[in-house]
Amino acid sequence: MADIVNLNPETRIWVCECGCATFHLRSDGEAECAVCDGTAAAQGQGWFDRLSGKQRDPDLDKPVNDINGNGSVDFARRRMTKLASGDDNAIIIIVEKDGRIRTWSVVETEEQEEWAKEQIEAALDLIVGASQKTRLKGQDT
């Protein structure tokens, strides 16, 4: 008899081996990772519980969402604005084109400061990775 897995859609998300939690649904029914183009059936992928932080594999990175809006800046801004209004946010950083930086956080303790640094470094890695991917795509054409 097969094991029954109780999936709570409010807390669990599917995460690619590369750590991305954003997928494109293809016409053949496969879900394709938005970052590495792997399919949802690839090895190293699995469920991540957003509430408990339980990893699909403890050796893999925490999941990330790649919000690119198919090249639409307006879509990406609307999506990020919606996400920024969430009750669960701990840090919000806005950098304007002229270099002004606006921040908000619930960071108060030294432990939270260390955690915030780790999260900001992870965000920078995502930004740099997306920038490199865009440049590489431009070279392919």
Which residue shows structure tokens 């921040």? 103
pLDDT digits (tens, 9 = 90+) for 86-136: 888 999 999 999 999 999 999 999 999 999 999 999 889 888 876 666 666
CA distance to 60, 65, 95, 123, per residue, from 37 (Å): 18, 14, 29, 20
Rounded to two decimals, what is the model's pTM?
A: 0.54
Hey, where are the domains in the chain?
A: 1-66
Confidence of residue 1 (pLDDT cuts 50, 70, 90): very low
pLDDT digits (tens, 9 = 90+) for 19-40: 777 888 888 888 888 777 778 7
